[in-house]
Amino acid sequence: MSKPSETIYYDDMPSPIGVLRLVADRHGLREVRFAEPRHPRPTPADWVRASEPLAFARVQLEEYFAGERVAFDLPLHPLGTPFQLSVWRELARIPYAATASYGDIAKRIDNPAAVRAVGSANGQNPIPIIVPCHRVIGSNGSLTGFGGGLPTKQFLLALEQRIAGRDLFTASASAK
Question: Which residue from 121, 27, 146, 40 is spatially nearest to 8, judged by alpha carbons?
Answer: 27
Q: Are 22 and 13 in contact (CB under 8 A)?
A: yes
Torsion sign across C-alpha atoms 167, 156, 11, 121 = negative
Look up 133 and say whether it is catalytic: yes
Which one is catalytic: 13, 23, 133, 156?
Answer: 133
| DSSP codes, 69-117 | -SS----B-----HHHHHHHHHHTTSPTT--EEHHHHHHHTT-TT-HHH
- Rounded Cα distance between 28 and 54, Å, is 9
Residues tagged active-site = 133
